[in-house]
Structure 1
Amino acid sequence: MKNEALFIKVALLFCFMTGCSFMNEQQEISKPATTLIQRQLTSEGQDLNNRMLIIGTGDMTGVYFSLGQRLSNMYEKYNGAVSGTQVTQASIENTELVSRHRAEIGFTTVDVLDLPETDKSKLRALTALYSNYVQIVTTKQNDIHSLEDLVGKRISVGTAGSGTRLIAERILLESDLPTDQLNLSYLSFSQSAEALRNGTIDAAFFSSGIPNNEIAFISNQTELTFIPIPGDIIERLQKQYGVYTHNEIPRDTYRGMKKNVQTISIKNVLVTYKEMSDPHAYNLVKTLYEHLPELQHTHPAASDISINEATKQVPLDFHPGAMNYFTEQGIIENQ
């Protein structure tokens, strides 16, 4: 095991020296390395010392990425893990990476868990997190105020593999807008923000914790309009999928907002694979909650993470190691 740990550290050092940083680029882990990681994380042990942890995040400007980096630092600092983040297309890709043992941990929205392509038998929940808010954004000069106004407009609905694209397409489908009159593009958060700034798109969907960094940045440069989601569409989505919550974007979230905006929110969850050992899953959750203030200091969205809500609104079996921790804390009895 010591030789394996030394091999990992040397490999990581080589990566950093040659520019393949875990923190800044998407990594494709080779099959032999993945097998080694799997063997380490499924082996028995009381801590994460010298264990490789890859955390699937999302767009580098999104909340997943900033929280993933902080978690990575925490697991290195408090557990001695060799940890790094992987830039991904977010929720759907993260569940795929984790189920294939290409990442040990991944952030995802709960609506992704019931997709046909998500193999829930291979995944286990570690803890519920904060909620994503659907934010449909345009600039004031576009004179767009409702979903109906999107007809004939250029709209970014998020990248393939993202929870943003999933919920954007569901909302547009429920709106009964003529699909042949919607000019859709599939851009990341940063690409959507830049396209709004330079006028190459008219509106963009963002599904993220609030405030979204990219929206906050452009709100300081130009006046924005936030498009509300009608109540009847929210009700149909709730009835059909059962994981969406009627919510509002508070008017003090971004500069220039004059009123709360009706929308839906979706719970986020941290997932791992079924074969993760109980002691390792236990320690992943234990470190997160024992040092939660550090995570909450990273982004305001994390202030909604609460151990009292850790097992609620998650349509996925929890890992036994995580449940052991929640039982110790008296949380299971309170559900």
Structure 2
Amino acid sequence: MKFHSLTKMLTVGLIAVMTAALLVGCGSESSQKKFLNIATGGTAGTYYPIGGAMAEILNKEIPGMNASAQSTGATVANINMLKDNSVDLAIVQNDITYYAVNGTEMFQDKKVDNIRGIASLYPETCQFVTLDKSGIKSIKELKGKRVAVGAAGSGAEANARQILEAYGITYNDIDVQYLSFAEGASALKDGNVDAAFLTAGYPTSSVQDIASQNKVRLLPIDADKAEALIAKYPFYTKTTIPAGTYAGFD
């Protein structure tokens, strides 16, 4: 069967501080070393391998380039590191970048207006994952359950909160667990949570890891709830995860 979910238009982008420059060592132009630090995300997500591949290409194609990918707490942390000039480029969720530029959500009264987009990379999909044996078949059934919603203050956590709210569910209605992709996957496999949420391009390594040992179920987002979310948050759009994306997912 096909699984209907939400994705975010131009979700993942590459941004930089407008005034950031490459750090250049001493010497002639031909011997100058260019240092470039790319902020990515956790090693269980999609950002880290993409950042690594970008660094590899830059090092191969640009003489004197010394680019490296840094594992981080992902979008929110990346934007703060850009603000502090501790990284040069960052892979981010565009919705969270919108919050930063406008000083809303987790960036309330902490506007970051000196960042600029360079490129859109790929759409990310919001995924509520549970084990088939849990018997949970709908997001509305998460009330009273142990749910990993992402790291506290992360972009994924904001998405989880918004989607749950569309179903009339607040964090007071669930046993909320602030766990990263990798932590949530581990907790789900060990039976310490009933469902885990992630925002990432599919197939996602943390979900593949779960599905390699367990039959998994992705909880669909009902059409009316999707429409309500899109009306309130225009960066969402509908998507379908094909059957066979994950082992054990029909």
2:57 aligns with 74
- Superposed CA deviations along residues 54-92 of structure 1, whole A, max 9, x for unmatched, are 111111111100011111112222113222222111111
Question: Displacement of 1:152 after TM fit?
Answer: 0.7
The answer (yes or no) to whether the contact 1:89–1:160 under 8 Å persists in 2 is no
TM-score (norm 1): 0.61
Secondary structure of the residue aligned to 2:150 is: coil
Q: Which sections of structure 2, spanning at least 5 residues, go unmatched? A: 1-19
Larger radius of gyration, structure 1 or 2? 1
Unaligned 5+ runs, structure 1 = 1-36, 259-335
Match of 2:118 among 119, 126, 132: 126
Shift of 1:162: 2.5
Q: What is the 5 A alignment of 1:63-212? A: 63-79=46-62, 80-115=64-99, 116=103, 117=107, 119-212=111-204
The 5-angstrom pairing of residues 1-335 of structure 1 reads 38=21, 40=23, 50-79=33-62, 80-115=64-99, 116=103, 117=107, 119-258=111-250
Q: Distance in 2 between matches of 1:219 and 1:165?
A: 22
Q: Which runs of 4+ in 1 moved over 6 A?
A: none
Query: Aligned partners of 1:47 and 1:145: how far apart in 2?
Result: 61
Superposition TM-score, scaled by structure 2 size = 0.81
Q: 8 Å contact 2:128–2:195 — kept in the other structure? A: yes
Deviation per CA, 1:86-129: give whole Å up to 9, x if none. 21111111112112211111111111022122745210111011
Report which of the two has the higher share of helix.
1
- The DSSP-based 3-state class of the residue aligned with 1:133 is strand
Among the aligned pairs, what percent are the same residue? 29
Does structure 1 conserve the Cα–Cα contact (< 8 Å) formed by 2:23 and 2:36?
no
Offset, 1:38: 4.8
Cα deviation for residue 139 of structure 1 reads 0.5
Per-residue CA distance 1:121-163 (angstroms, 9 max, x = gap): 2101110110111111000111101011101110001113422
Q: CA offset at residue 170 of structure 1?
A: 0.8
Q: 1:152 to 1:130 in 2, by over 3 A?
A: same
Contact 1:90 1:161 in 2 (8 A): no
Asked if the contact 1:211–1:253 (Cα under 8 Å) also holds between the matched residues in 2, the reply is: yes
- Which residue identity does 1:180 align to in structure 2? N
Alignment partners' CA distance in 2, 1:47 and 1:241:
48
User: Which structure carries more relative contact order (alpha carbon 8 Å, separation 6+)?
Assistant: 2
Distance in structure 2 (CA, Å) of the matches to 1:54 and 1:178 = 38
Q: Distance in 1 between matches of 2:242 and 2:73?
A: 27
